[in-house]
Structure 1
Amino acid sequence: MTHTVPQLALTAEPHRHPQPIADLATASPGLAVTILNADAVGNAVILAPDGGRRVRIVADGQLREVHADLDAVPISDPATALALTQQSLAWAVATHHAATDRVRDLAAEIDRHRHAHGQQLAEIRSYAIARHRDGDICRDGLNAFLRHFDLDEYQPRHRVRFTITGSFDVRADVNRDTDDTEYDVREYLRLNTDQVDNVDTDTISTHITADAIEADE
């Protein structure tokens, strides 16, 4: 009887002993190998062990998992190793693009939910304020309700628009002309609201111009 001696794939390293694929994955992730006794797997690129009894590989451009105790040997043929590396790179790029698209879609979905939630809270706040204006809820009760839902308290405002006209004399120092006085008025004349109750000083807006400055000799 004639016995046929099994031959390794021509791409396998002939002078290296087979090793468990988990050992190769730990020592050399990204290595192109020939898996010796896997069912129809053949050549592949090792990615990494999964921490258990499986190892992730890229074979035929697809991500797969194989048992960690399968034997494998590194591929010695440069052309075969390069082709496998290119396949794994193409898989990595495609996976990255898919993950990026998924993250973008999730971010857009989160924004939509956040916007809808914000609109709902705004409607709740408006409804509660309307009930207060109708006399159904007191101010303290309204603001306690709004604070409970982390909403801004109700604080009505009175917008004041004002016009001030007036005049005063400035004793001119030596070498100071009307341009100097106009500059001082524009830069240093200020509105004093200290005696007006509850002014929000961050909202004060004034624009001061000197309508006419004349030299009285």
Structure 2
Amino acid sequence: MTRLRGRLVAEFVATAVLLCAVIGSGIMGERLAGGNAAIALLANTGATIAILYVLIEIAGPISGAHMNPLVTAALAVRGHHERREIAPYLIAQAAGATAGAWLANAMFDLRVLQWSAHARTGLGLWLGEAVATAGLLLVVLRAPKEKVAALVAAYIGAAYWFTSSTSFANPAATFGRMFSDSFAGIAPQSVPMFVVAEVFGAGVAVWAARKTAL
């Protein structure tokens, strides 16, 4: 139980820092870009790549640095840890994502408690989110252990630009982003379909990884 508690604390902290970096860099990028969305997204991308690499390297040996319920579930299905740990991990990740969003809001002198008004809906965005999540899970499941941090960070950085959804690829991150009415936010009413798309994409990735296993 003590070991699990330590892993959950690590997962909470890592997910909080991830969301703080994603949302905070989105706010900073938007403020400095003077209305140029491409520059704001570029700043958001760079910060996300860097923090993902750092967090996976640091928290990986402790909790696995999943920061994503779908990664946790997929790894449990493949026997990397016990399935009874899925729910505690999910709670820690959702709580961390919320805390990270609130921290980002507070740092930039915004209302800590707020909802995003940034609607993200439509078949193209949902398809993009499914593609983003499928790719991420395939990287996680097939990457050599010593290269996971670099490959995950590189994939997410690329997917920010080649997917229409800008690659949330993570139900916990999607949940946390609805608490910030900023460049990186998502309106609460848009969250359910994003999560559905993410779950679908993860399912495709698990199936593909199984079919291509050596």
**TM-score class normalised by the smaller sequence:** under 0.3
Q: State the TM-score, normalized to the length of structure 2.
A: 0.20
Pick the structure with more strand per residue.
Answer: 1
Q: State the TM-score, normalized to the length of structure 1.
A: 0.20
Query: Which structure has the larger Rg over C-alpha atoms?
Result: 1
Pick the structure with more helix per residue.
Answer: 2
